[in-house]
Structures are given as structure tokens and as C-alpha cells.
């Protein structure tokens, strides 16, 4: 690419050159900072480290048996309600087709013969 033409004030820099500069910018560039917003600087390693620290805080809290449950380390673009919701593994028993329900399908086990009959696989 013609990098010497990038800032010379002429029209020799075309749109493809601009696209290449943006696409090839690394994670620590001003372009990345602008496009990533508050997630700037958070890579896979940072997310894994935050998860490990949250796990350690939780384990220490469980062993101590005292105090309030530790709050998770804030992550970019994730609200506190979202993070607290991750700890709840509760399935709703409501109608999964209702917009106000969780959308989780629940049911009861039936014998295999009954299922085969329902599916039309009766021999």
C-alpha cells in the first residue's frame, strides 16, 4: 500500500486504501478504540481472567460461609442484571409460546412404545 500518500493531502489515497487501513488496524489502535467502545482492551484473555477471579471469589465465599455473595467483575457491555441472571439455572414451567414466558420447553417422560406410536413408527 502507498502509506507515504496517507497524509500528504492529495487525492491519491482511494477508498480501497482507506478500507485496508481500517481492516488491518490492530486491537490497540485508535480505530479499534472507537469501534469497540467500552469493550476496548478486552480480549479472550481478559474475559478468561475475569471468569477465573469470579470463580475464586465464589469458592472463597462458599468456604467462609459468611457475608454476601461476591459480585462478579464488571465486563464491558454486560449489565449487572445479565450477570446475576447467569447464576440462576431455573426453568420456567409456563407456556413456551407465550412472549412473557422464558421460552424453555419442559415436559414429562413417556414410555418409548407410546412415543413410537405418537410418531407413527408403530410396526
Please say if the pLDDT value at position 9 is more than 50.
Answer: yes
Instruction: List CB contacts of 61: < 8 A, sequence separation 6 or more.
Output: 67, 69, 70
Share of the chain above pLDDT 90, in %: 15
Burial letters 1-17, b for 16+ CB under 10 A, else e: eeeeeeeeeeeebeeee
More confident residue, 68 or 21: 68
- pLDDT tens for residues 102-121? 666 667 888 999 989 989 88
Note the Cα 82 to chain centre separation in Å.
10
Instruction: Give the mean pLDDT of 33-56.
Output: 86
Question: Is the whole model's pTM more than 0.85, yes or no?
Answer: no
Please say if the pLDDT value at position 92 is more than 80.
Answer: no
Q: Which pLDDT score is estimated for 95?
A: 59
Q: pLDDT band at residue 89, thresholds of 50, 70 and 90? A: very low
Amino acid at each position: 500500500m502507498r502509506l507515504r500518500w496517507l497524509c500528504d493531502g492529495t487525492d491519491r489515497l482511494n477508498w480501497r486504501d482507506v478500507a485496508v487501513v481500517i481492516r488491518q488496524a490492530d486491537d490497540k489502535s485508535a480505530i479499534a478504540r472507537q469501534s469497540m467502545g467500552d469493550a476496548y482492551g478486552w480480549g479472550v484473555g481478559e474475559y478468561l481472567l475475569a471468569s477465573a477471579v469470579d470463580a475464586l471469589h465464589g469458592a472463597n465465599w462458599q468456604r467462609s460461609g459468611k457475608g454476601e455473595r461476591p459480585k462478579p467483575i464488571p465486563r464491558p457491555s454486560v449489565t449487572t442484571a445479565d450477570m446475576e441472571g447467569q447464576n440462576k439455572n431455573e426453568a420456567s414451567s409456563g407456556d413456551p409460546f407465550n412472549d412473557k414466558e422464558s421460552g424453555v420447553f419442559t415436559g414429562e417422560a413417556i414410555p418409548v412404545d407410546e412415543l413410537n406410536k405418537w410418531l407413527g413408527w408403530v410396526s
